[in-house]
Homo-oligomer: A and B are copies of this chain.
């Protein structure tokens, strides 16, 4: 089926506009439509779904259709749609993030928050992450992003639902395929480091002990550990519907 009008694709991330991951993603999207990149001017990891309300935001067009914003990933998507582009794109896609966004960690994730903001503003949205800490190979993730984008541009997504995709950092031919997964659970540790400065005052670093994950069936963590791409449908309704009945019985 021929696509009559050119599709508009908005790309953002939390690693910043100069990240290799966003360049790989923009390249992969290029042949699918008109690509706009609106991304933070610097790294904004773990910024979560935060929004800048107390200072004005500056935008710089660093190349044609590439805009750097001194704000969070969420700011970028909001500003792109409501301020810079003044139109609703056909797809919002985030990444490719240098590092995984799985399990409970997605509540902190700037990458997932890009797709959350896209979804809130009514645009089908995808978050792409590469599950490695170094030696990033963006090719398999870029290829899968392209396949997925073609599908979503044609078929849309379930209502109020985004796709959170994590890709193993291995060669394309080693990837076993993809699995539709559930958000897994990380095992958390004591991740704070206490230090003393030269003037004897204490300060703290929040760390990130990697203690592994709960081996639950169909989880994002499990798919990655087995060499599959993980694709999790995420929605923005955080209500624990299953608990409503029980809680309605409480007498406070």
Binding site for B on A (CB under 8 A): 43, 45-54, 56-59, 72, 74-75, 78-79, 82-83, 104, 106-108, 113, 116, 120-121, 147-148, 151, 155, 158, 160-161, 178, 180, 182-183, 188, 190-192, 194-195, 201-206, 208, 231-241, 243-244, 246-248, 250, 252
* Interface SS, A side: mixed
Number of copies: 2
Complex A-B: 18 CB contacts under 8 Å: A48-B48, A50-B108, A56-B204, A58-B201, A59-B202, A78-B206, A79-B204, A82-B191, A107-B116, A107-B238, A120-B188, A161-B243, A183-B237, A233-B239, A233-B247, A234-B238, A235-B238, A235-B243
Chain B's closest residue to A57 (CB) is B204
In Å, the complex CA distance between A48 and B52 comes to 11
**Chain B residue with the shortest CB-CB distance to A70:** B203
Q: How far is the CA of A238 from the CA of B194 in the complex (A)?
A: 33
Q: Is A56 within 8 A of B250, CB to CB?
A: no
Give bound CA distance, A164 to B173, whole Å: 46
Given A47-B50, A78-B192, A108-B51: A234 in contact with B244 (beta carbons within 8 A) = no
B247 and A180 contacting across the interface, CB-CB below 8 Å? yes
Contacts of A59 in B (CB 8 A): 202-204
Residues of chain B within 8 A (CB-CB) of A178 are 252
Given contacts A116-B107, A180-B244, contact A50 B53 (CB under 8 A): no
Q: Which of B48, B158, B192, B252 contacts A240 (CB 8 A)?
A: B158
